[in-house]
């Protein structure tokens, strides 16, 4: 079996070029957006750098993972195949006819998306990549102050062959849900950071309640979370009335205040 080569695919940051040329022996990076629909944004493209030619860079990536945002890519296939595949999976289809860009090189996105892949889907998305590794965390893991090394293995990488004219990959339900969970937990994390005594697990249960009750906008969900957090010992009503979000949220607040009063009077 051919030995794998390794690359770092690094997310663009303003200080990235300076770090590459300060720490790398021979950075000579490849810009991921070159030759794609994102070419107009090439100045902010993720950069692909050879590990073999930049051992000092790789050593810092492993020793100081908090200082880097990116992926380690191991593959026995030619660089041209790896680059072709990395550029191909940038563009995705979802919700029928909608199209988008998958920021998989961001460790946060990678921490949600790649673990959601199973079996044949994993081989399909990783393509010529034998192993994909990164240091990152979901928003929930960040709330617990946990970050870890993730790794995904693809035993079919060496048999992968490039196919000309391949269509964009389409997200299945599980993959779309994983990315939606990323956005939901991001919203919750930023709200939760402003709280003093509420655990992330409690906040998550309140958010799930609110979404199940039909609150979908950020403003309505923020208000729902605040009301539930302010009345943590009260029992919420089994259902909320029909009407606008404002009417329903006022009903929730009144019901929780009444529930708290009743509990105090029977204490």
Q: Which residue, 171, 205, 223, sits at the end of a domain?
A: 171
Residues 124 and 199 in one domain: no
Residues 148 and 224 in one domain: no
Residues 167 and 225 in one domain: no
Residues 131 and 231 in one domain: no
Does residue 236 belong to any structural domain of this protein?
yes
Residues 162 and 89 in one domain: yes
* Cβ atoms of 41 and 86 closer than 8 Å: no
pLDDT tens string, the chain, 267 residues long: the values are 468 899 999 999 999 999 999 999 999 999 999 999 999 999 999 999 999 999 999 999 999 999 999 999 999 999 999 999 999 999 999 877 889 999 999 999 999 999 999 888 999 999 999 999 999 999 999 999 999 999 999 999 999 988 777 788 999 999 999 999 999 999 999 999 999 889 999 999 999 999 999 999 999 999 999 999 999 878 888 889 999 999 999 999 999 998 767 655 555
Residues 151 and 248 in one domain: no
Domain of residue 113: give its range.
5-171
Cβ contacts of 191 within 8 Å, gap of 6 or more: 203, 222, 225
- Whole-angstrom distance, CA of residue 238 vs CA of residue 162: 55
pLDDT of residue 262: 63
* Cβ atoms of 114 and 104 closer than 8 Å: yes
Residues 10 and 80 in one domain: yes
- Whole-angstrom distance, CA of residue 89 vs CA of residue 117: 14
Question: What values do phi and psi take at 138, rounded to 5?
Answer: -75, 170
Cβ contacts of 195 within 8 Å, gap of 6 or more: 203, 229
Residues 23 and 124 in one domain: yes
- The angle at the Cα of 125, spanning 121 to 130, to the nearest 5 degrees, equals 105
- Whole-angstrom distance, CA of residue 142 vs CA of residue 123: 28
pLDDT of residue 99: 92
pLDDT of residue 55: 96
- Whole-angstrom distance, CA of residue 104 vs CA of residue 70: 9
Residues 114 and 209 in one domain: no
Q: Is 95 left (phi over 0), alpha (psi -120 to 50) or beta?
A: left
- The angle at the Cα of 68, spanning 56 to 93, to the nearest 5 degrees, equals 125
Cβ contacts of 226 within 8 Å, gap of 6 or more: none
- The angle at the Cα of 204, spanning 198 to 206, to the nearest 5 degrees, equals 80
pLDDT of residue 203: 96
């Amino acid at each position: 079996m051919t030995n794998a080569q390794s690359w770092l695919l690094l997310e663009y940051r303003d200080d990235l070029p300076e770090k590459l040329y300060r720490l790398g022996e021979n950075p000579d990076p490849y810009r991921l957006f070159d030759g794609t629909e994102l070419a107009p944004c090439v100045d902010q493209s993720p950069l692909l750098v050879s590990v073999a030619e930049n051992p000092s860079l790789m050593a810092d990536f492993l020793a100081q993972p908090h200082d880097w945002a990116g992926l380690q890519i191991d593959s026995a296939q030619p660089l041209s195949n790896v680059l072709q595949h990395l550029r191909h999976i940038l563009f995705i289809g979802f919700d029928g006819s909608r199209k988008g860009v998958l920021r998989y090189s961001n460790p946060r996105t990678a921490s949600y998306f790649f673990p959601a892949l199973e079996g044949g889907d994993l081989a399909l998305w990783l393509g010529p990549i034998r192993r994909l590794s990164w240091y990152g965390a979901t928003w929930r893991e960040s709330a617990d102050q946990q970050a870890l090394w993730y790794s995904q293995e693809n035993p079919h990488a060496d048999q992968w062959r490039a196919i000309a004219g391949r269509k964009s990959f389409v997200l299945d339900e599980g993959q779309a849900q994983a990315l939606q969970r990323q956005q939901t937990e991001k919203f919750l994390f930023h709200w939760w950071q402003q709280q003093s005594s509420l655990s992330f697990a409690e906040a998550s249960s309140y958010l799930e309640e609110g979404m199940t009750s039909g609150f979908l906008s950020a403003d309505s969900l923020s208000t729902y979370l605040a009301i539930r957090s302010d009345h943590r010992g009260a029992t919420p009503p089994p259902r909320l009335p029909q009407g606008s979000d404002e009417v329903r949220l006022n009903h929730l607040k009144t019901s929780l205040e009444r529930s708290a009063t009743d509990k105090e009077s029977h204490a």
